[in-house]
Amino acid sequence: MESSLRADLLDPAALASLGHIEVVARWIVDGFLSGLHRSPRKGFSVEFADFRPYQPGDDLRFVDWKIAARSDRWVVKQYEEETNLRATLVLDVSRSMAWRSAPTLITKRGYAEQLVAALALLLLRQRDAVGLIRFDDAVRTSVPPRARTTQWRRIVAALADPGGGRASDLATALSQAARLVTRRGMMVLVSDLLVDEGPVLAALRGLRAAGHDVVVLHVMDPAEREFQLAGEANFTDPESLLSVPASSADVRTAYGDTVTEVIAEWRQALSAMGASYELVVTDQPYAVPLRRALDARQRP
Inform me whether the pLDDT recorded for 44 exceeds 50.
no
CA–CA dist 88, 174 (Å, integer)? 10
Q: What is the pTM of this model?
A: 0.79
Query: What pLDDT is attached to residue 48?
Result: 46
Summarised one tens digit per residue, pLDDT across range 71-102 is 777 777 655 444 568 999 999 999 999 999 99
Question: What is the per-residue pLDDT for 80?
Answer: 47
Long-range Cβ pairs for the range 222-231 (8 Å, 24+): 222/101, 222/105, 222/281, 222/282, 222/283, 223/101, 223/102, 224/101, 224/192, 224/259, 225/259, 225/279, 225/281, 226/256, 227/251, 227/252, 227/255, 227/256, 228/101
pLDDT of residue 46: 43
Chain segment 167-206, per-residue pLDDT in tens: 788 999 999 898 888 788 999 999 999 999 999 999 999 9
Predicted pLDDT of residue 151: 94
Q: What is the pLDDT of residue 13?
A: 94
**Distances, alpha carbon 238 to alpha carbons 166, 257, 292, in Å:** 7, 22, 29
Protein fold of 84-297 = Rossmann fold (3.40.50)
The predicted pLDDT at position 69 comes to: 78
> So what's the pLDDT on residue 167?
78
Q: What gap in Å lies between CA 283 and CA 220, rounded to an integer?
A: 9
Domain limits of the chain?
46-81, 84-297
pLDDT score, position 209: 93
First to last CA, the chain: 31
Average pLDDT of the chain to the nearest whole number: 83
Residue 239 has what pLDDT? 61
